Amino acid sequence: GENVEQHPSTLSVQEGDSAVIKCTYSDSASNYFPWYKQELGKRPQLIIDIRSNVGEKKDQRIAVTLNKTAKHFSLHITETQPEDSAVYFCAASGAGSYQLTFGKGTKLSVIP
Amino acid sequence: EAQVTQNPRYLITVTGKKLTVTCSQNMNHEYMSWYRQDPGLGLRQIYYSMNVEVTDKGDVPEGYKVSRKEKRNFPLILESPSPNQTSLYFCASSFFRGSGRAFEQFFGPGTRLTVL
């Protein structure tokens, strides 16, 4: 089955700096890659997703890039703010599948 | 309001006492799933359902049962809970349009279970 590795497990940045979280996946047939944000004590919520026919997608301060050849995708957050502090999960879904395999998460801390 | 609800939100029980965690969604989603979240392990899928009366095992199904008798409900059953099932549980749902493409999963608020 699919295996998703996520790095780093913790990340601290100064407010205003950029943050990058990287994930690799094992199944070359995977075609859907969402990112979820989970604030302390809350449920995971989708912040951005990308499909395999697209290399990059942007939504205001967040962007996701996908490299199908290398089987990795990354989340980029620019101009970080304290409210970006949370745990971020990447996930991957294979062709013909509705199941998501999640990475282990990255705890992002934005220091004011 | 479109939402996924779970009950109870918190539960402390003892080993061996059967319990059920309910999950309900009002978005007419076909796909529903249960995850457990443990520190350092991320979200791991327990069971999922593609539609009424269609369920299948995820990555960590041992010790759990599910049923899908109605489209909106997907209860998680622990027939004989053990301490290693102490965890944070999330139900999620999404559309299933028969296209073989996954869509956004909407999560419930979570159920924190402690088994003594």
- Tens digit of pLDDT for each residue in A49-77? 998 888 999 999 999 999 999 999 999 99
Q: What is the pLDDT of residue B100?
A: 64
Q: What is the pLDDT of residue A99?
A: 84
The angle formed by the CA atoms of residues B54, B51 and B108, to the nearest 5 degrees, is 110
Counting every residue written for chain B, the total comes to: 116
Using an 8 Å CB-CB cutoff, list chain A residues near B44.
102
Mean pLDDT confidence for A79-97: 91
Q: Measure the CA–CA gap between A94 and B21, rounded to whole angstroms.
A: 29
Q: Measure the CA–CA gap between A7 and A57, rounded to whole angstroms.
A: 20
Hunting for tokens 């299948």 — which residue is that? Answer: B56
Q: What is the pLDDT of residue A1?
A: 80
Q: What is the pLDDT of residue B46?
A: 97
Regarding beta strands B31-38 and B87-94, do their DSSP bridges make them parallel or antiparallel, or are they unpaired?
A: antiparallel
* Chain A residue with the nearest C-alpha to that of B5: A43
Using an 8 Å CB-CB cutoff, list chain B residues near A89.
42-43
**Closest to B47 (Cα-Cα) out of B38, B37, B59:** B59
pLDDT at position A95 over 80? no
Mean pLDDT confidence for A100-106: 95
Using an 8 Å CB-CB cutoff, list chain B residues near A93.
102
Interface of B with A in 28-57 (CB under 8 A): 31, 33, 35, 40-45, 48, 50
Cβ–Cβ < 8 Å for A80, A19: yes
- Tens digit of pLDDT for each residue in A2-56? 899 999 999 999 999 999 999 999 999 898 999 999 999 999 999 999 988 889 9
Amino acid at site B13: T
E strand residue ranges, chain A: 4-7, 10-14, 19-25, 32-38, 45-51, 56-59, 62-67, 72-77, 86-92, 101-102, 106-111
Q: What is the pLDDT of residue A98?
A: 78
In order along its 116 residues, chain B shows pLDDT tens digits of 889 999 999 999 999 999 999 999 999 999 999 999 999 899 999 999 988 999 999 999 999 999 999 999 999 999 999 999 999 999 999 987 666 677 889 999 999 999 99
